[in-house]
Amino acid sequence: QLKFSRQPLVVLLDTCEHVARICRVLRLPGGHIIVVALAGRGRRSIARLACLSMGHEVFETRDAEGPEKWREATSACLLQACAEGQPSTLLVTGDCSDKS
């Protein structure tokens, strides 16, 4: 479980529109979404805001943390979603930049 600290947040109209789109998709039965944007554009924050506003518990992992952390987050998310029937979100973030 991740610990979060409070930070001031400026919400622009575009941010509200993106949160509304994500919420609309998550409301669908079996709803899932892939959010793609350049690094530093706020996609992780917007996705977390939308998920938390929908009452989902967010399980987060980064691709750089390795397969073991990814497996742990995936297992915890699936256990909560499938076995307990609770709304949950697996948020996978990563760097897609060319590292060559």
- The whole-angstrom separation of Cα 66 and Cα 68 is 6
Secondary structure class of 70 (helix, strand, coil) = helix
Q: pLDDT higher for 7 or 55?
A: 55
Residue 20 pLDDT: 93
pLDDT at 78 over 80: yes
Question: Confidence band (pLDDT; 50, 70, 90) for 96?
Answer: low
Does the pLDDT value for residue 1 go beyond 70? Answer: no
Q: What is the CA radius of gyration of the chain?
A: 14
Q: Which of 38 and 52 is assigned the larger pLDDT?
A: 52
Tokens at 72, concatenated: 């742990």
The tens digit of pLDDT for each residue in 34-46 reads: 777 777 778 888 8
